[in-house]
Amino acid sequence: MSSRRSALKNIAAGGAGILSLSDAFAASDKALGPALKGKINHSVCKWCYGNIPLETFAQECKKIGIKSVELLGPEDWPTLKKYGLHCALPNGAGMGIEKGFNDPANHDALVKSYEELFPKLQAAGYTTVICFSGNRRGMSDVDGMRNAAVGLRRLMPAAEKYNVTMIMELLNSKVNHRDYMCDHTSWGAGLCEMVGSEKFKLLYDIYHMQIMEGDVIANIRQYHKYIAHYHTGGVPGRNEIDQEQELNYPAIMKAILDTGYTGYVAQEFIPKREPLASLKQCVEICDIA
């Protein structure tokens, strides 16, 4: 604040004439950097910045223009609200990535844990939550889809009651999550059709799907009606999304907007350089006109 007051003082004193206070604030903000364009709702996954305390991270996100910090649980939501930040995709309940809805043995525990979480989400003003398919463990994709649909259908009445959309993440099973079942967009879309509710959608992780199937823009165009959230990440390595990796993120953002998408796009890369500087850079890469 002291540096901002100094900037305002200099701005107001300089030039031919005296600036109004509102003009001074506007000039100060311009000097601090261009505002984001507003077409993309920017979010970020906190786990990539584990060494930065959430309180500090929230303040820095506000400066960058990020609206949401996600993959956080109820214990962290008050800190986000303190700084006027949303949690575009809260952490899920249940048993983690490897034990998911594709195994009927998990259904009772998953249903119970999500039903207990839904009221907390509603009370916090959140309308989404992440979930996972689980690993194959020798199961066929067809059987896994049927099993997952049975378990998820049990939760749809409660999801509709509390206005919560369950969002299953598409992950690669080639590099990071060996044996994970929901590893192709077509499988996830088939599961959405089988569940048959608008309260079940997909998280299209651009990094993961580039590894598994490529054709990112074509698949976004084909399957966008099943997608409720997006994550970024540079390929290979899940680092910065700049010119050192293979994906053209401005073109991907344009394709997402062209589908009519109005939700959030979350940065989910592991910084190799100064974390907050990299985060700001990657937000600006995605912030298309």
| Percent of all residues in the chain with a pLDDT value above 70, rounded to a whole number | 88
Residue 93 has pLDDT above 90, yes or no: no
204, two tokens:
């299209």
* pTM, rounded to two decimals: 0.88
Binning pLDDT at 50, 70 and 90, where does residue 43 land?
very high
Residue 94 has pLDDT above 90, yes or no: no
pLDDT for res 34:
53
- Averaged pLDDT for residues 64-88: 98
19 or 60: which carries more pLDDT confidence?
60
pLDDT for res 22:
44
Rounded Cα distance, 84 and 236, in Å:
34
Of 94-103, 190-199, 220-229, the one with minimum mean pLDDT is 94-103
| Rama region for 169: left / alpha / beta (φ>0; ψ in -120 to 50; rest) | beta
pLDDT for res 35:
83
- Averaged pLDDT for residues 132-159: 98
Residue 77 has pLDDT above 50, yes or no: yes
Residue 205 has pLDDT above 90, yes or no: yes
Residue 222 has pLDDT above 80, yes or no: yes
The domains of the chain, with CATH numbers, are 1-33 (no CATH), 36-286 (3.20.20.150)
pLDDT for res 190:
98
Q: What is the 3-state secondary structure of the chain?
A: CHHHHHHHHHHHHCCCCCCCHHHHHHHHHHHHCCCCCCCCEEEEEHHHHCCCCHHHHHHHHHHHCCCEEECCCCCCHHHHHHCCCECCCCCCCCCCCCCCCCCHHHHHHHHHHHHHHHHHHHHHCCCEEEECCCECCCCCHHHHHHHHHHHHHHHHHHHHHCCCEEEEECCCCCCCCCCECCCCHHHHHHHHHHHCCCCEEEEEEHHHHHHHCCCHHHHHHHHHHHEEEEECCCCCCCCCCCCCCCCCHHHHHHHHHHCCCCCEEEECCCCCCCHHHHHHHHHHHHCCC
pLDDT for res 48:
98
Residue 29 has pLDDT above 80, yes or no: no
- Averaged pLDDT for residues 212-229: 98
Rounded Cα distance, 91 and 74, in Å:
9
Exposure letters 73-83 (e unless 16+ CB within 10 A, then b): eeebbebbeee
Rounded Cα distance, 101 and 151, in Å:
6
Residue 127 has pLDDT above 90, yes or no: yes
Binning pLDDT at 50, 70 and 90, where does residue 3 land?
very low
Rounded Cα distance, 13 and 26, in Å:
15
pLDDT for res 95:
87
10 or 54: which carries more pLDDT confidence?
54
92, two tokens:
């899920």
